[in-house]
Structure 1
Amino acid sequence: MTQLRTVQVLGGGSAGSSAHVRSLAAGLVARGVRVTVCAPAELDHDYDFLGAGAHFVPVPRRSDPLSVGALRAACVGADVVHAHGVHAAVRAAMALASQHVPLVVTWHSRPHAEGARRQLLRLMERKAVRAAAVVLGTSSELVDRARRRGARDARLGPVTSPAPRQVDDLGDHGKARAELGAVDRPLVMSVGPLEPYRGHDTLLDAARSWLGHDPVPLVAVVGEGRQRGALQRRIETEELPVRLLGHREDAGSLLAAADVAVLASRWEARAPLAQEALRLGVPLVATAVGGVPELVGEAAELVPYGDAVALASAVSRLLADPGRRAALAEAGRRQARTWPTEDETIAQVLSVYDELCER
């Protein structure tokens, strides 16, 4: 029997999609599949696709003839090409224009665009899903969106982030809290890029209302992005109890030490922060947007997007109620056990590949 060969295509590569491709590559290689990953060079440094047993071809996140040509060459001889995200799917469709190779697209999230770019994004979404033999949406909302854009075959393909290292040592928690200056005060954590759609301005509005608490909670935010300068100026001008920590390799340890985690985004599918908080038993307050309610079930406090009063009140109630925090921690761990494992995710993807090859 001929060995199956697949090409995995990443564009800019969000943390969730890049981690998924790394997990997928390792799992497919272990099952005897030859895997090539095409992605910007820096992603292999961060996610070590070569270490997963895949062949790696650096391809910039551009649609110029040189980049598309490099992607086209990498796809020659492939049985299935699998693109992750809208931009990667459009470039993969261009590369496969003269090749009879089935394209699978995993839609991990909904890209954000304003003004004239929104119409361009809609056109890109239509081109991406119509070129695909199968579209896998990581949430029911994304599956519905793909169908509205014209997908021939759109299915739910939930992706679970690789399980984080469990941090059970209370000494680790104490060390993390001491470093942040939260030994004798509550610690509220958020993790994610400092971009407008992540709702950090709303989180800062909520933090201003916590100045009246005794002791005042410390809000710690892990992540980098174009909003960092504006957020830091607000923090200094308004004297808010917020620390921007930048990129941290120990984000999981910091999150495990928190009293409450906050996800204030405008939209999410299967947010890595929500997954990690529930697995670690950290009570979560999140916006009821996108795939978040489907992901967390009853295991988190949900609030409307952009509502700083509701966000502040939900966090305040949790900080004042240790019993509710303990109940949410247990509910979170139970909910996490209902998510597909990495093995189940890989098995679903492989079954799609086999189905397309049989056609």
Structure 2
Amino acid sequence: MSHVSSHPPHGQSPLHTVQVLGGGSAGSSTHVRSLAAGLVARGVRVTVCAPAETDRVYGFSSVGAHHVPVPRSSDPASVSALRAACADADLVHAHGLHAALRAMLALSGRSVPLVVTWHTRPEADGARVHVLRLLERRVARAAAVVLGTSSDLVDRARRRGARDARLAAVALAAPRPPADPVEPDRFRHKARAELGATDRALLIAVGSLDRHRGYHTLLDASRAWCRLDPVPLLVVAGEGPLRPVLQRRIEDEELPVRLVGRREDVTELLAAADLVLLPSRWESRPVLAHEALHARVPLVATAVGGVPEMVGDAAELVPYGNAKAIADAVVRLLADPARQEVLREKGVRQAATWPTEDETVAQVLSVYDEFTRFRPLI
């Protein structure tokens, strides 16, 4: 992708963009940090409006952006704080539906371009489905352009009435290397021993324990590999509202599954795993798939959302909600080391096709240029 320069012509002020985050998922927050760093390096003034705790975790200020603490969407002070932060913005870029709704309100009566990135698809049930559709329609029609992180999100934005919707280049930073790359086997054995999988296959799933993650299906599938000898162990890293229900099922049905809570050493867990499982109802560009392919660990994932276009033929793809398909894929892979090696090699090649951080920043800058090229001289 060609390099796009943002350094202004003589007599023109630097482009000032305001990046707006809501609560900020890990994916969108990481993206905004990477984007802020790249934009600042190219001479753009960047303000990031996000809750204070998000800046503490992701460090927008540390890459040269100006951080304005803006409360979460439920706080009535958030729109007025946003309005003040956007007072001299040339362009506002909101990440996610709720951030975009607040940005729309903050820009009411002003002709500042609004760029919106949809990183994920909000989940809703019952009457809230209709409300969600209305909110998405408002945002899609108000935005100068909607960038979707997967093709189905681009299609969704078009269905909601977006005048311009495009596929976004989104880079995820390569996972940090293991703590001691000189002795990876020692760390692998240590992690497996800690989890109780020294002499059996270790399967890893990572993500919040929510309904849409598909963990009930994963527990159903785990029954099928109980017939293997030795029985593989499934370890699920993450926290969430389903934990008590899942734990009760594991105990009542005597399933070979451990819930280990939120972990800071996911890279080490993946390096210790034989297979990684991603059973979600929907994903755009899941961080877990990204890390699994980089770590050369075979992946079994549901063929939903942006997953197929992200992983190509470098993973075993199964239908959502199909416990038998997951179980069959796991049993088949564990019995076929040659197929595992094929997936490892394909994973490395597939990861090499993903956008780089430079390419992501260049695409975003070219979009900004379309909507800000006639900025007045100072």
State the alpha-carbon separation in 1 of the partners of residues 248 and 55 from structure 2: 34
Once the two structures are TM-superposed, the CA of residue 63 in structure 1 deviates from its matched residue by 5.1
State the alpha-carbon separation in 2 of the partners of residues 224 and 333 from structure 1: 30
The correspondence of residues 219-230 of structure 1 with structure 2, limited to 5 A, is 219-230=234-245
1:8 aligns with one of 12, 15, 19: 19
The answer (yes or no) to whether the contact 2:71–2:77 under 8 Å persists in 1 is no
1:204 equivalent in structure 2: 219
Question: Is 1:131 the counterpart of 2:146 in the alignment?
Answer: no
1:339 aligns with one of 329, 334, 354: 354
Question: Is 1:81 the counterpart of 2:115 in the alignment?
Answer: no
1:213 aligns with one of 219, 222, 228: 228
Question: Is 1:110 the counterpart of 2:121 in the alignment?
Answer: yes
Structure 2 residue ranges without an equivalent (≥5): 1-11
Residue correspondences, number: 359
Once the two structures are TM-superposed, the CA of residue 179 in structure 1 deviates from its matched residue by 1.2
The correspondence of residues 9-88 of structure 1 with structure 2, limited to 5 A, is 9-62=20-73, 65-88=76-99
2:283 equivalent in structure 1: 268
1:302 equivalent in structure 2: 317
**60-69 or 325-334, which moves further after superposition?**
60-69
Once the two structures are TM-superposed, the CA of residue 310 in structure 1 deviates from its matched residue by 0.5
The answer (yes or no) to whether the contact 1:83–1:105 under 8 Å persists in 2 is yes
The correspondence of residues 223-242 of structure 1 with structure 2, limited to 5 A, is 223-242=238-257
User: Match for 1:257: what amino acid?
Assistant: A
1:150 aligns with one of 149, 157, 161: 161
The answer (yes or no) to whether the contact 2:28–2:119 under 8 Å persists in 1 is yes
1:259 aligns with one of 274, 279, 292: 274
The answer (yes or no) to whether the contact 1:49–1:55 under 8 Å persists in 2 is yes
Once the two structures are TM-superposed, the CA of residue 42 in structure 1 deviates from its matched residue by 1.6
Find the structure with the greater CA-based Rg.
2
1:121 equivalent in structure 2: 132
TM-score, normalised to structure 1, is: 0.97
TM-score, normalised to structure 2, is: 0.93
Q: Provide, for residues 54-94 of structure 1, a one-character-per-residue CA deviation record: whole Å limited to 9, x for no partner.
A: 11111122255421111111111011111011111111111
Once the two structures are TM-superposed, the CA of residue 164 in structure 1 deviates from its matched residue by 0.4
User: Match for 1:82: what amino acid?
Assistant: H
The answer (yes or no) to whether the contact 1:139–1:158 under 8 Å persists in 2 is no
User: Match for 1:322: what amino acid?
Assistant: P
2:198 aligns with one of 180, 183, 205: 183
RMSD: 1.2
* SS, match of residue 260 in structure 2: strand
Once the two structures are TM-superposed, the CA of residue 98 in structure 1 deviates from its matched residue by 2.2
- Larger relative contact order, structure 1 or 2 (CA cutoff 8 Å, min sep 6): 2
The answer (yes or no) to whether the contact 1:63–1:91 under 8 Å persists in 2 is no
